[in-house]
Amino acid sequence: MAFNDMRAYLDLIKESGQLKEIDEPLSCEYGKNDLQALMRYLAETDGPGLILNNLVGYNTPEIPVIYNPFGTRERTAMALGETDPLQAKLKHSAILADRSQWHEPVLIDAAKAPCKEEVIEEADISIDKQLPHLWIGQEGSSYVCGAVVVTKDPETGTRNVGWYRLTQLWECRHPTDGSYTERQQKQQLSIFAFWNPPMNHIGLHLAKAKAMGKPLEVAVAKLCDPAVHVAACTGTPFGIDEYAFAGGLRGSPVELVKCDTVDLEVPATAEYVIEGVFQPDADDVTIGWHSNSIGYYDKLQVFPVFDIKRITHRKNPMWYATIEMMPPFDHNYLALMPVEGEILSDLQRKIPEVNDVVVTPNMTYVVQLKVDGANKPHPEFGKFVLHAVWGAAGRWGRTAKIVVVVGPDINPYDLQAVEFAIGSRVQPYEDSIMNQSAQAMVLDPSAVKGPQGFPMTGSQLGIDATIKIPERFSDYAPVSQADPDAVAAIGERLKSVLG
C-alpha cells in the first residue's frame, strides 16, 4: 500500500480503531505538562495514536497535534503497508538490498503541491506565532519532530534526506543560564547536525560547507508519507538518494516539489516546509535539557543554527509531537525497524543462516539464526556472526553496544527466551567478546563525552548464546518446552473457563 501523505496513514489506523481524538484539556506548558505521563501510559498499554485537540498553554490551538501514531510494532508495520512486524522488516530489508526495486522521485508543478497552499515570506517570519510550540517532560526547548531534512553535498551536489530533530529557541531555557537573541528565537532554528566532528550525513555536508566558507541550504519537510520517514532514518550509504529508496518502499515514485528560496526538493504533500540557510560564520548554540532515546536528559549539547527564509504549509495543517524517554515511546519502533532492516539486509546477503534481527527498545541487538548446534556451518559460528554485525554496512551495526546471537528455537522478540538462552547456553568468559575500540552510540550517557556533549568512542559486548556443538559438546540436553500449537489448542479448548 502506498500512502500519498501522512493523512492517508492516519486514516488507515483510524479505520482499524487505533487512532482516537482527545478533547480533554491537557497541559503542554514548560515544566508542568501532562504529555510525558501520557506517553508512558500509552507505551505501557499499547495505547492508540491520538489527535490532541485541547492543549493548555499551546500557542496555536487551531492546529491539532498528532501523538503516538507509531506506538506499537504493528502500527509501525502498517506504515509500510503490512501488519506483521517481521514481514515489514523483511520488505524493508529486501528493497534496501535490491535497488532495481527503487523508484526515482518525480517533480510536480508547485501549483499542485499541497505543501505550498499557505506561504509565509521571510520578512514576515516570526515562529513564535507561526510554528506550534509545546513542551514535554523537563525538556528546555520545544522541538520540531517528525520532519525529514534535505541538504546537498557542497562539493558534488548529491542530495541527502535524513530524519533529524530541530530545536525552537523561542522561550527556550538556556542550560547554562545564558540567553538567546530575539532573532534566534523568532527567525532561526537549531538542528541536531553533528558536524564537528561529522557524525551524520547532514554533519558531513555542514562540515564541508564550513571548510569551504560556503553557505549550506536546508529544507525541512514535516510529516510526509511514512515511507519517506522510514527511508530517511535508514543508514543508506553516503551519497545514496533516500527519496529513491522511499519510492521502492511505497511501490511508486515520491512526488517532489522545488523549494522557492533554496535549490532543494521536498515531498509535495508534507504538512509544513521550512526553507533556510546555514551561514558559514554562524556560531553554534548551546541547548538543553533534551530527553534522548536512551532514556536520559542531555543537560547540554552544542548545535548549529540556520536562518529561516520561508515557511509554507497545507491549509488546516497538522503538527506532530513526541518525546524520547526511557523506552518504549511513540516513534521508538519506527526508528528501530530501519535499524533492524539495515543490519538484516547486510547479514543475509553474506550469511544465509541469519533468520531475523530484532533490536529492543533499549537497543540490545538479538540475531536469530536458522541453524544451531551441529547444523551450524562451522565452529564458533556465533562469534563469526557477532563480528559481522559490527562490520555491517550502514551506521547502526558499528554502534551496537550489546549483541546476542541465538538459535532458531529462541523467539528473538521474547526477552525471557533470550535470557533463557544466555543462562543455559553461555559460559561468560568463553562465549563473550569484548571490543574495546568501538564507535559509541551517539546518545549513550555511559561513554565519555566530547566538547559538543556527545560520545564518540566506547566498548561493545557480544554474547554467543548458541548451543556449543561442536565447540564443547557432541550432544546437548533437549529443551523441555510445550509445542506452541498445543499451547494454542489448549487455550482455545479452555477459553470459556479461563477467559
Ranges in the chain annotated CATH 2.30.110.10: 6-320
Is domain 351-484 annotated with CATH 3.90.1170.50? no
Grid cell 529508496 is found at 245
Q: What number is the average pLDDT over the span 54-82?
A: 95
pLDDT over 70 for what percent of the chain? 99
Q: What number is the average pLDDT over the span 105-124?
A: 98
Q: How far is CA 346 from CA 62, 190, 313, 385, 392, in A?
A: 46, 34, 38, 11, 6
Ranges in the chain annotated CATH 3.40.1670.10: 351-484
CA distance 402 to 462: 6
Evaluate if residue 165 carries a pLDDT over 80.
yes
Grid cell digits, residue 134: 509545546
Grid cell digits, residue 94: 529486501
Summary count for the chain: helices (H), strands (E): 14, 27
- pTM here? 0.89
CATH architecture of 6-320: Roll (2.30)
104 exposure class (CB count in 10 Å sphere: 0-12, 13-18, 19+) = exposed
Give the tens place of pLDDT for each residue, 355-392: 999 999 999 999 999 999 999 999 999 999 999 999 99
CA distance 159 to 454: 26
Ramachandran class of 484: left when φ > 0, alpha when ψ lies in -120 to 50, beta otherwise: alpha
Give the tens place of pLDDT for each residue, 203-228: 999 999 999 999 999 999 999 999 99
How confident is the model at residue 455, as a pLDDT? 85
Give the tens place of pLDDT for each residue, 289-344: 999 998 999 998 999 999 999 999 999 999 999 999 999 999 898 889 999 999 99
Alpha helix positions (H), 251-395: 332-350, 381-390
